[in-house]
Amino acid sequence: GRNLVSDPISNKGLAFPLSERDRLSVRGLVPPRILSIQEQERVIMDEYTRGWAARAEQEPEDEIIKSGVSPDNIRKWKVLQSVQDRNEPLFYRILMDNFQDMAPIIYTPTVGWACSHFSQLYRRPRGMYFSHGDRGEMASMVYNWESDEVDAVVITDGSRILGLGDLGLGGLGISIGKLDLYVAAGGFHPRRVLPVVL
């Protein structure tokens, strides 16, 4: 399943129907919500035409923007996520060499903005999703994760994220960001961590 959702030719993102998610071992690797290819296209086209940094400039009353997250921080977050998608060793090298400057970009406060916009920013699996519909299936779903050996798991239920309230699945960004810090500053291996949202 992990290879399937990482293969740009075969991956359908959130368009996998529930029956395929079980059969192809991608259940839990993608958020439980199903979005058709056309719905995913609308999300991408919205980003393409308006862009998130531009949108942040248009939201001066947004609590996150008021807290000091600038459009430039959002741009930097997206650059770093793009590097992580392509080349994780490079991402962690950059993060370790520039930790003090980049920690606020990949975690608090910028991660709050990323969490509140997570559904529009989702590109590939970076953790596991366990929904109410997965009750009784979680033990089998963890086998869909790429690593059999995990040293650190960060779990969120998506509620009370940085004082922003219940962000649901978007809260996974907190688990991801925290584990990125654990890898860069704590020496954990990136293949041996597991971000989770319940």
Provide the residue range defining the domain that includes 8.
1-35
Determine which one of 12, 107, 122, 129 is catalytic: 107
129 is catalytic: no
Same domain, 151 and 173: yes
Q: What is the number of domains present in the chain?
A: 2
Are 193 and 178 within 8 A, CB to CB?
no
The pTM for the full model equals 0.73
Gyration radius of the chain's alpha carbons: 16
CA atoms within 13 A on the CB side of 75: 8
Same domain, 17 and 66: no
Are 175 and 197 within 8 A, CB to CB?
yes
78 is catalytic: no
pLDDT of the chain, 198 residues: tens digit per residue: 778 887 777 888 888 998 999 999 999 888 888 888 888 888 777 766 766 555 555 555 555 556 667 778 888 888 888 888 878 888 899 999 999 999 998 888 888 877 777 766 766 778 998 988 889 988 889 998 988 899 999 998 877 766 666 677 778 888 999 999 999 999 999 989 999 999
